[in-house]
Amino acid sequence: MATATTELPPAAELPRPRTLLVGTSLALAGVAMYFAAIMGIYALERQEALRSGSEWFSPGTVQVAPGVVMWFTVLLSVVTMQWAVYALARNIRVQAYLALLLTLMFGGAVINQTSFYLTDIGLGIGESTASAMLFTVVGSFLALLMVAMLAVMLTSVRALIGQYSSQRTDGVVAASMIWYLMVAVYTGLWLLIFVTK
């Protein structure tokens, strides 16, 4: 029996994957400038307060330990986020779903830790310039974290219904870019608030 070889038709042209990544990069550049500016204002206000002889936070208000725990949580989420990208690019879908779920869980944990911490220190937002700055910077970070979680959720749903696969990973890569920026922002915030106090 002769074996007939069937030549497959050429694959359809993919939608431009660069567009989403380019757009995300540009938007993230704007977001990065926002955080650079708000952290710059924080640093300058703190410097001014210390220069004038007043204290920034009362001793014991800001402790390193909670900040370190939160920082390690967001660092772990980098691993799971990259795992999701890796798994989806290789069509290991179960792993991709698991990784996305874990990433979301870490995000939720950071929100939980932050809200507990802000309640625990017992500062009012209008109490002093330091507390107003703390709430502004941390609040902005939480907003970014929620946007990143929304992007990951959207990616998960789209991956579940088959829109993302090894052939098309731009959505999950874009979500990961937002996530990594969030982690970078937290690292800066950790240094600024918890390390320098």
Q: Which residues make up the interface to other proteins (CB under 8 A)? A: 16, 18-19, 22-23, 26-27, 29-38, 40-41, 44-45, 47-48, 51, 54, 125-129, 132-133, 135-136, 140
Bridge partners of 165? 168
Q: 28 near 177, Cβ under 8 Å?
A: yes
**Smallest distance from other proteins to CB 95, Å:** 30
C-beta closer to other proteins: residue 5 or 60: 60
**Smallest distance from other proteins to CB 86, Å:** 25
Q: 152 near 107, Cβ under 8 Å?
A: yes
**Smallest distance from other proteins to CB 48, Å:** 7
C-beta closer to other proteins: residue 87 or 134: 134
Q: 131 near 124, Cβ under 8 Å?
A: yes
**Smallest distance from other proteins to CB 10, Å:** 17
Bridge partners of 168? 165
C-beta closer to other proteins: residue 38 or 183: 38
SS3 165: strand
Between CA 113 and CA 30, with CA 42 as vertex, the angle to 5 degrees is: 85
C-beta closer to other proteins: residue 27 or 102: 27
Q: 110 near 151, Cβ under 8 Å?
A: no
